[in-house]
Amino acid sequence: MKTITIGTQTAHVGETAELCRALADEVETLLKERAAEGRLAVLGLATGSTPLPFYDELIRRHREEGLSFSNAVTFNLDEYEGLGREHERSYWHEMWCNLFDHLDIKAENVSVPPSVSEDPDRDAAAYEEAIREAGGIDWQLLGIGGEGHIGFNEKGSAIDTRTRRVTLARKTIVDAAPGFGGEDKVPTHAITMGVATILEARRVVLMARGASKREIVKRAMTGEVSSEVPASFLQNHQNAGWFLDEEAAGSGSDA
């Protein structure tokens, strides 16, 4: 893995396996430091295809090296509206299948925004409150959408947004369609942590893989900081890290 400068930002660039090990090292250090102090570690987690090999590395460390998640508290970024937890495309379901089922994390320490809600405003406020009560997020993982969303904070999401119900962008629906068997089956709404919620995390890491992310990663890292590309807000975070494979980073020299 190498460290390169892109615009004003520092990016860690390497093979997926190297990126995953580096990210897992951060989580392992946090979990162990907190365990030694008898405290909880608060992780903000993401769904999508990007973090899957990272989750595999966490599972491997738990199984083979005994890394314990018994002091981990997790908050997921977002959830589709209306699917229900048991739906195989719900983020609740994906997180349990791809990660939580394979760790010693306590079920009561896992939070994913509700997919079904009678009162989304109330539930969004309760989600914010739960994060605050846990002491805030220590370590937040992000992917990046094709138009620069973080969580489901689509283009136009302001820096002061909080957890709330949102309308999904057309591009987000098109990108999700293969997994749902057609655009018409993708939910049109979701609940997401806000940009402000994300930026309050003490450490924020954005992971991007593949050439399809190259252009938007470049805009997010070097373009104007604006709600046009919500990931660009990371440029001004005190402790943000960009973890990119070679394809997402471009050549490195002109990126």
Phi, psi of 3 (to 5 degrees): -115, 125
CA-CA distance, 223 to 44, in Å (whole number)? 26
Identify residues 132-161 at the interface with ligand PGA (CB under 6 A): 143-145, 149
Please tell me whether residue 114 binds ligand PGA under the rule CB under 6 A: no
Residues 160-199 that bind ligand PGA (CB under 6 A): none
Residue closer to ligand PGA, measured from CB, 164 or 213: 213
Q: How far is the CB of 2 from ligand PGA (least distance, A)?
A: 22
Is 49 among the residues that bind ligand PGA (CB under 6 A)? Answer: yes
By CB under 6 A, tell whether 120 contacts ligand PGA: no
Q: Which of 13, 41, 50, 58 binds ligand PGA (CB under 6 A)?
A: 50
- Nearest distance in Å: CB 197, ligand PGA: 15
Whichever of 53 and 136 has its CB closer to ligand PGA, that residue is 53
Query: Looking at 14, 44, 48, 230, which residue binds ligand PGA (CB under 6 A)?
Result: 48
Q: Rounded distance, CA 103 to CA 110, Å?
A: 12
Run of H or E including 93? helix 91-98
How many other C-beta atoms lie within 10 A of the C-beta of residue 114? 19
Burial label for 95, CB within 10 Å (0-12, 13-18, 19+), is buried
Closest to 147 measured CA to CA, from 174, 115, 166: 174
* Interacting residues toward ligand PGA by CB under 6 A: 48-50, 143-145, 149
